[in-house]
Amino acid sequence: MKPVHVGLLGMGTVGGGTYAVLSRNAEEISRRAGRPIAITVAADRNLERIRAMTNGRCRVTDDAFAVVNDPAVEVVVELIGGYTVARDLVLSAIENGKHVVTANKALLAVHGNEIFAAAQKRGVIVAFEAAVAGGIPIVKALREGLSANRIEWVAGIINGTTNFILSEMRDKGISFAEALAGAQRLGYAEADPTFDIEGIDAAHKITLLASIAFGIPVQFARAHVEGISKLDAVDIRYAEYLGYRIKLLGLARKREDGVELRVHPTLIPNKRLIANVEGAMNAVLVKGDAVDTTLYYGKGAGAEPTASAVIADLVDVARAAATDPDNRVPHLAFQPDRLHDVPVLPIDQAETAGYLRLRVADRPGALADVTRILADCAISIDALLQREPEEGEGAADIILLTHVCRERQTLDAIARMEALPAVYGKVTRLRLENLQ
Amino acid sequence: MKPVHVGLLGMGTVGGGTYAVLSRNAEEISRRAGRPIAITVAADRNLERIRAMTNGRCRVTDDAFAVVNDPAVEVVVELIGGYTVARDLVLSAIENGKHVVTANKALLAVHGNEIFAAAQKRGVIVAFEAAVAGGIPIVKALREGLSANRIEWVAGIINGTTNFILSEMRDKGISFAEALAGAQRLGYAEADPTFDIEGIDAAHKITLLASIAFGIPVQFARAHVEGISKLDAVDIRYAEYLGYRIKLLGLARKREDGVELRVHPTLIPNKRLIANVEGAMNAVLVKGDAVDTTLYYGKGAGAEPTASAVIADLVDVARAAATDPDNRVPHLAFQPDRLHDVPVLPIDQAETAGYLRLRVADRPGALADVTRILADCAISIDALLQREPEEGEGAADIILLTHVCRERQTLDAIARMEALPAVYGKVTRLRLENLQ
């Protein structure tokens, strides 16, 4: 059969990886797809780079808009990133009747509703497996593999940079700042690491996963986002002592009254497989009512793992392009006219178990005061650890694990504890998920 | 859109689960599929059972052949099992131009080439996600999610019964016989457990995974199959001491000269996520050249997890039925005219690391004789553990971990060791895979 003609936008890490894998595995891929996947034209601001890379085997240009307007191009692969030019390019490609494959989570988390609506109207596909968890085929698993299920929740370690930093903090007993510096030296963290360490990248991804899990529009602006930059190494140690690991978890949970959508450092029982995902690896845990929990694990970033997802999308597009749009897998897993406008709940309505660390005067009644406050706020204690004060310290750390309760109850209890004369300074609070 | 009309054959555990999930999640499923999935007729030998289950909401019959000949049926779901009647039913359904969804790994591992050829000829789909690893969408991941990759190997814990037994043996320090009896009491093992404990079920599954990973015909008869019934609890303890878990692993590896296809008890480093898959859970690890290793984990059996896979296939079939067969995902992942007839290698050409346990006289030179034999056979030693003999024993256990070598070298070395006067009885040998 005739080749699929692809226009590639952006020949950086992922673009270069995509080009390399498509070239190296051309035969294997066409044995599967039934036709070759051919890069017809590639665009990059750095013409020298793409000339060197493609070596005359495809046309090159530094004008990305020329590619989306090129009549020879059937599928545009957008690997430029960002919200602005990428949005214009993707919308232009759609307008021109071209299918789009993209790894751009930021773009889809922020402008996804507009982009998917445009694609739907024009009858083209926007495929985005590479936008979440790199090489792990989690979008396919959720949209197709688990289509029999009511999805109850999705929880993922979906940012490799932060997971690498957390692993280093735990393994080496170092601070966040030290671990970040190490990650930057090794290339696991960027010079400006904000998007990763503040949880924004993970929030983009869990926003997309929530939409395809529950059939709701993309609602990034309503996600609750906390990163790991304020995490204290001491809490990693206490969590370990109590049988937990701390991970930056993206979590989307369906409730009767809405959807919880949040990213924050989270204690997870170390018996769970996902708690043992270390280094820059990613993993996503999905709970469906029929299948129960399934886990998907692999490399969440990097040139070739991400290329693996981009190319899988290209093969899917090659197959689906010829079909009636009504028979394609819908962008957000559910038919566009049957998305539910379920609200994303504000964080103060979230329900989670918790971890509290407070510094308490070493005198009678201090612990009684603290536990009385929890009882008054209707919060049950699951575990309690009081460290013996070091000599001459006069104060002790108390660590409490609490049962599931509303965010508001926890904040109320913390405010009351901090008002106690026997409690010194701020109460450290982390969330805990059992993931069962 | 109009419903998809399904004929369901067999209303046992999986059939009942499929009916239950399709009923319970009807709205969620049709929101995804764009049309309802309707059970039009269900067949079971026990008419009372299906009447009670379906309660007048679909036609029932005790004649499965009436279903495959029913003009109203578009898709036949075969959940009867076995090689004989199931084969006739599936081939008849195909002949009648109906798509087939099946959970029957035995049927496909043994008669898959015939069945897929018939389906190809008639232009219908035979979908089999439920045949491997229950609710885990591993067939979809391999055939579609990883289509960019040259798959190097696939390794799976794909039989829940044996994994449950091995977990019990390790946790409780009990023998195989005790663990099997416990598994039977709890319903994790059947009254006649042969298919599970002797590795046959796992071999059916890894045979199918090998075909879709490498694009080769189904070759069950050439798989090497060893179960766990001869496994001694002492080896689980020694393996643990050396940092390994013993799992019944199905393994398919592509080599220059052919494919290794084998099922046997296997030592796996306990740092690997897959080594920590306990109880009746399943997990499959896939190594692709672009994506590196990815892992898929979940329930490998049970009514609703398996139903989850059956129904996902039904949704896929509902979508793909209207498309040109050339644009569908090929049954064995690769286009049928582009399967490679790569040979499955005989077990004596397998290459693995190994674990050897031998009982050696407590006298000078015994260990030197053993290690000399390994050197003569060009086998490198990776680790060695010699247990201090108990008082009055006069003999000690020696445990050796060896580097990767050919099966033949290992067997040769074992024969020579067993001929040594200082070695008592047989040498216990297990294979070891690093899975990296």
From the number of C-beta atoms within 10 Å of its C-beta (0-12, 13-18, 19+), residue B61 rates as: middle
Contacts of A341 in chain B (CB under 8 A): none
Confidence of residue B160 (pLDDT cuts 50, 70, 90): very high
Which residues of chain A from 11 to 50 reach within 8 Å of chain B, CB to CB?
17, 21-22, 24-25, 28-29, 31-34
Query: Among the residues of B301-430, which ranges form H helices?
Result: 303-320, 366-376, 407-418
A-B C-beta contacts closer than 8 Å = 220
- Total residue count of chain A as it appears in this document: 436
For the residues B108-130, what does the mean pLDDT come to? 98
Sequence-distant (6+) residues with CB within 8 A of A306 are A13, A14, A17, A18, A103, A130, A134, A135
Confidence of residue A397 (pLDDT cuts 50, 70, 90): very high
Contacts of B141 in chain A (CB under 8 A): 137, 140-141, 145
For the residues B425-432, what does the mean pLDDT come to? 98
The percent of residues in chain B predicted with pLDDT above 70, rounded, is: 100
Q: How many angstroms separate the CA atoms of B155 and B159, rounded?
A: 12
User: Does B4 contact A at CB distance below 8 Å?
Assistant: no
Which residues of chain B from 106 to 145 reach within 8 Å of chain A, CB to CB?
129, 135-137, 140-141, 143-145
| B374 pLDDT more than 80 | yes
The answer to whether residues B92 and B69 touch, using CB atoms and an 8 Å cutoff, is yes
CATH topology of domain A141-299: Dihydrodipicolinate Reductase; domain 2 (3.30.360)
Confidence of residue A374 (pLDDT cuts 50, 70, 90): very high
Confidence of residue B387 (pLDDT cuts 50, 70, 90): confident
Note if the pTM is more than 0.90. Answer: yes
B29, B294, B319: best mutation site toward chain A, by most A Cβ within 10 Å? B294
Q: How many angstroms separate the CA atoms of A64 and A61, rounded?
A: 7
Q: Which two tokens stand for residue B81?
A: 């099992």
Across chain B, mean pLDDT equals: 96
Q: How many angstroms separate the CA atoms of B116 and B102, rounded?
A: 12
Q: What is the pLDDT of residue B388?
A: 78
Longest dimension (CA), chain A: 82
User: Does B227 contact A at CB distance below 8 Å?
Assistant: no
Could you read off the pLDDT of A324-357 as tens digits, one per residue? 898 999 999 999 999 998 999 999 999 999 999 9
Q: Which two tokens stand for residue A179?
A: 């671990």
- Homologous superfamily (CATH) for B4-136+303-338: NAD(P)-binding Rossmann-like Domain (3.40.50.720)
Cβ of B150 and A25 within 8 Å? yes
* B205 tagged catalytic: yes
Which residues of chain A from 66 to 105 reach within 8 Å of chain B, CB to CB?
none
Across chain A, mean pLDDT equals: 96
Confidence of residue B363 (pLDDT cuts 50, 70, 90): confident
Confidence of residue A392 (pLDDT cuts 50, 70, 90): confident
| B282 pLDDT more than 90 | yes
CATH class as words, domain B348-432: alpha beta
Which CATH number, 3.30.1130.10, 3.40.50.720, 3.40.50.1100, 2.60.40.4070, labels domain A4-137+303-338? Answer: 3.40.50.720
Q: How many angstroms separate the CA atoms of B52 and B56, rounded?
A: 8
| A387 pLDDT more than 90 | no
Contacts of B331 in chain A (CB under 8 A): none
Cβ of A140 and B136 within 8 Å? no
Q: What is the pLDDT of residue A322?
A: 85
Nearest to B308 among A33, A288, A315 (CB): A288
Closest to B304 in 3D by CA, of B21, B39, B32, B54: B21
- Total residue count of chain B as it appears in this document: 436
Closest to B432 in 3D by CA, of B344, B333, B357, B361: B357
Q: What is the pLDDT of residue B364?
A: 85
The answer to whether residues B101 and B76 touch, using CB atoms and an 8 Å cutoff, is yes
Cβ of B293 and A298 within 8 Å? yes
Sequence-distant (6+) residues with CB within 8 A of B129 are A145, B137, B138, B139, B140, B309, B310, B312, B313
| A393 pLDDT more than 90 | no
| A73 pLDDT more than 90 | yes
Residue in A with minimal Cα distance to B339? A31
Q: Does domain B138-299 have CATH number 3.40.50.720?
A: no
Could you read off the pLDDT of A113-127 as tens digits, one per residue? 999 999 999 999 999
For the residues A181-192, what does the mean pLDDT come to? 94
Confidence of residue A19 (pLDDT cuts 50, 70, 90): very high
Q: What is the pLDDT of residue B391?
A: 76
Q: Which two tokens stand for residue A232?
A: 């204290």
For the residues B407-426, what does the mean pLDDT come to? 96
The answer to whether residues A227 and A199 touch, using CB atoms and an 8 Å cutoff, is yes
Q: What is the pLDDT of residue A143?
A: 98
The percent of residues in chain B predicted with pLDDT above 90, rounded, is: 94
B322 versus B34: the higher-pLDDT residue is: B34
Closest to B169 in 3D by CA, of B180, B158, B179: B179
**Single-letter residue type at A368:** A
Could you read off the pLDDT of B33-60 as tens digits, one per residue? 999 999 999 999 999 999 999 999 999 9
Cβ of A290 and B311 within 8 Å? yes
CA distance A147 to chain B (A): 5
Q: Where are the domains of chain B?
A: 4-136+303-338, 138-299, 348-432
Question: Does ipTM come in above 0.95?
Answer: yes
Could you read off the pLDDT of B178-216 as tens digits, one per residue? 999 999 999 999 999 999 999 999 999 999 999 999 999
Q: What is the pLDDT of residue A263?
A: 98
Q: What is the pLDDT of residue A364?
A: 85
| B8 pLDDT more than 90 | yes
Task: Let me know the angle formed at the C-alpha of B218 by B215 and B222, rounded to the nearest 5 degrees.
Answer: 115
Kindly report the number of other CB atoms within 10 A of residue B155's CB atom: 26
For the residues B90-113, what does the mean pLDDT come to? 98
Contacts of B295 in chain A (CB under 8 A): 295-298
